[in-house]
Chain A
Amino acid sequence: MAQRKAGAVNYEAVIGLEVHVQLKTQSKLFCGCATEFGVEPNTRVCPICLGYPGVLPVMNAEAIRKTILSGLMIGCKITRFSKWDRKNYFYPDMPKNYQISQYDLPLCLGGAVQIPGKTLGVTRIHLEEDVAKSFHFDTTSGVDFNRAGTPLMEIVSEPDMRSSEDAFAYLTALKEILITGGVSDCDMEKGQLRCDCNVSVRPVGQAKFGEKVEIKNMNSISGVKRALEYEIPRQIAALGRGEKIFQETRRWDDEAGKTSVMRTKEYAHDYRYFPEPDLMPVTVSDSLLAEIQQLLPELPEAKRQRFVRQYGLPEYDAGVLVANSTLANFFEKAAGKNPKAVANWMMSVSDITATPIQPVQIGELVAAIDAGQISGKQGKDVFAEMLATGKSPGTIIKEKGLAQVSDTGAIEGFCDQAIAGNPKSVADFKAGNKAALNALVGQVMKLSKGKANPQLVSAILARKL
């Protein structure tokens, strides 16, 4: 739990997140180069995305659609007249030394992301081109322009988060929504989702925000959480010592577990935004909006409610199963006649989709138990074997000869043997001790090497006695 007090003062953190998401399009934002990850450097480039003399950008229609879809998924208002602007600054990863972005009329405004118990506001979503990737060596840096020009959505949140947990939940939920919508794969390791934090602290009850510090270089969602868990107490402690917090940019070092100053406000950029003369504005018509609305997928929250309704699952189970779309899809494929049982098997491991088990196999397992082919206890062994080998329940049951004996003839035989061999239990049962039956059932199970169907055994014994 992060430090919240310094001296007698209770502080709260105010956190806003800026998330950059690479869109899952075939080609880059302004040219036809393929958006492919992990290929040889500078092999997915052309004069346009390299900022060669004389080139011009032409907007990718699908990038616009995916941005609008993203806005609709989180409840944004879609800007009907949207325009492009040049953001001017010099950097080796910027081919033109200006980035084509959106300043005052972004595609989406407003919106929110739901996390358990809270609504976290979103300020805007805009579309811009991604920059190149740099690699740093001893005395030089090398630039690979494959990434330059990839369509990038910038999602700016309201400063509604108050804890590292909030930030973690926001990012997790946002990522899930974007994946569900097919907008991005959001793989942070591939740079498809990147996050910067703005965090300040203020005494609880104070309306005015404290000075905000920008934190960069977090490479995972849990990294964001760790960075905040360091930074919030750092700021509070500093204030407690009577120091001032200055607006600055700090770099998170995950290995060392701390942030350090990157640049101070003096070096803040003057971006000299002005309208992009090479690109025409975008007007979003009613019909385009309607068309994209048709593409809206079922979002995680709606899915959760449907699982409760349609499958009769408890809220908790539904919540676990919609955590990601692969898990949810797995469940729906496996559900069958006994969704609760399927859910239980799925929740008995941390991530069933990472195992060799197929949805249909869980269904088969549940069906085998429900039909009495194997017992619940045997089911656990079968499941363990499924996890280890990926074989189907049917195969495992056959290989291990686990099929419960439900052949009444055989059971009758075992029952007769048990009755004959356990006169005391028989006598106890006949004297009114119902529990004595269990001992006899146990004997029959032993005789049948555990394969007899226990319910049948009970029934047959009871009849015989």
Chain B
Amino acid sequence: MSEDHNRIDIEHVAHLARLELTDVEKNKFAAQLKDMLAYVAKLGEVDVTGVEPTAHAIPLTNVLRPDESRPSIDPVLILKNAPETARGLIIMPKIVE
């Protein structure tokens, strides 16, 4: 793998993950993750021709439930856990498209 692959664009990835990092964290993580990427590069040695990726540990299919409704949870519990509520809604800063 090229040198390029060993450098994570921390700012971009932190944005994808919605993580605010301090400059100290950005530098520290960039270095540590560079080491980790160098380590996982060894997977490039393995011959995976014709090998299917493991999708699930156990080969089950058609795990379905009948279409039956059951009572929902008491909204009081939900609203109590939410940091900010008003008129039964969970409030956030204004969502701007």
Contact B97 A140 (CB under 8 A): no
Given contacts A41-B88, A142-B89, A143-B89, contact A61 B66 (CB under 8 A): yes
A-contacting residues, B45-78, CB 8 Å: 55-56, 60-70, 72-73, 75, 78
Q: How long is the Cα–Cα vector from A87 to B4 in the complex, in angstroms?
A: 27
Contact B56 A280 (CB under 8 A): yes
Asked whether any CB of chain B lies closer than 8 Å to the CB of A191, the reply is: no
Contact A60 B67 (CB under 8 A): yes
Majority-rule SS of A interface residues: loop
A-contacting residues, B76-97, CB 8 Å: 78-79, 86-95, 97
Interface 0/1 of A54-87, CB less than 8 Å to B: 0000111111100000000000000000010000
Asked whether any CB of chain B lies closer than 8 Å to the CB of A348, the reply is: no
Q: How long is the Cα–Cα vector from A41 to B91 in the complex, in angstroms?
A: 12
Count of chain A residues with Cβ under 8 Å from any Cβ of B?
A: 51
Nearest CB of chain B from residue A289's CB, rounded to whole Å:
14
Asked whether any CB of chain B lies closer than 8 Å to the CB of A281, the reply is: yes
Chain B residue numbers with a CB within 8 Å of A32 are: 68-70
Q: How long is the Cα–Cα vector from A280 to B78 in the complex, in angstroms?
A: 29
Asked whether any CB of chain A lies closer than 8 Å to the CB of B16, the reply is: yes
Nearest CB of chain B from residue A277's CB, rounded to whole Å:
7
Chain A residue numbers with a CB within 8 Å of B18 are: 90
Binding site for A on B (CB under 8 A): 16, 18, 55-56, 60-70, 72-73, 75, 78-79, 86-95, 97
Known: A60-B67, A62-B66, A138-B94. 11 other contacts (CB 8 A): A27-B69, A33-B69, A41-B89, A45-B73, A58-B63, A91-B95, A140-B86, A143-B91, A280-B62, A281-B55, A283-B62
Binding site for B on A (CB under 8 A): 25-27, 32-35, 40-47, 50, 58-64, 83, 90-92, 134-145, 251, 262-263, 270, 272, 275, 277, 279-283
